[in-house]
Amino acid sequence: MVAFVAVTEFALLLFLMNDVVLTLDTGSLTLPLEMSRFRSLTLPFVIQLGQELFAEQPRLQHTDPEKARRLGLLIAAKNPEINAALFVAPTELCRPEDVISRYCQISFDVMGLLLARQEEGSLTTVATDSQVWRRLAA
């Protein structure tokens, strides 16, 4: 007798939020109810939402990683080519429009390197900046 097991397909996506590599379960976006709720959102609106979140909590990726994961999922859902986002708030509780945001696509190799360094405990803001964001290069 052969038994068949139904397997729910899901994909894991690595997403860099500032200086933290997050593992996102893209399968959680496949529910029809979830997709219908978020289909009308635009990428600029999602980025604005990120600015609002980081205005309240400038280190959101550390203080509330689950909220950062949901933001990463929304960004990736709006543009699957984006796998990294940077939100820089000058101060806590600043105006959302004062939060600088950038996003980009990181190669699989670089993302793997960042994840390995994070798992070793050696991924720092400076290391991430020099590998991806290059804010300190000038």
Per domain, the residue ranges of the chain are 12-133
Q: Give this prediction's pTM.
A: 0.83
pLDDT score at 39: 75
Between helix 65-78 and helix 43-56 the angle, nearest 10°, is: 160
Q: What local confidence, expressed as pLDDT, does residue 34 receive?
A: 58
Return the HEC string of 55-78. Answer: HHCCCHHHHCHHHHHHHHHHHHHH
pLDDT in tens, 51-99: 999 999 999 999 999 999 999 999 998 999 999 999 999 999 999 999 9
Name the strand (E) or helix (H) holding 103: strand 100-104
Count Cβ atoms below 10 Å from residue 123 Cβ, excluding itself: 20
Pairing mode, strands 84-88 and 100-104 = antiparallel
Residue 120: CB atoms within 10 Å: 8
Residue 32: pLDDT band by 50, 70, 90 thresholds? very low
Give me the residue label for tokens 């939402």.
49
Task: Report the range of poorest mean pLDDT among 27-36, 81-90, 100-109.
Answer: 27-36
Mean pLDDT, rounded, of the chain: 86
CA distance linking residue 4 with residue 133, whole number of Å: 47
Instruction: Give Cα separations from 26 to 67, 77, 98, 101 (angstroms).
Output: 15, 8, 30, 23
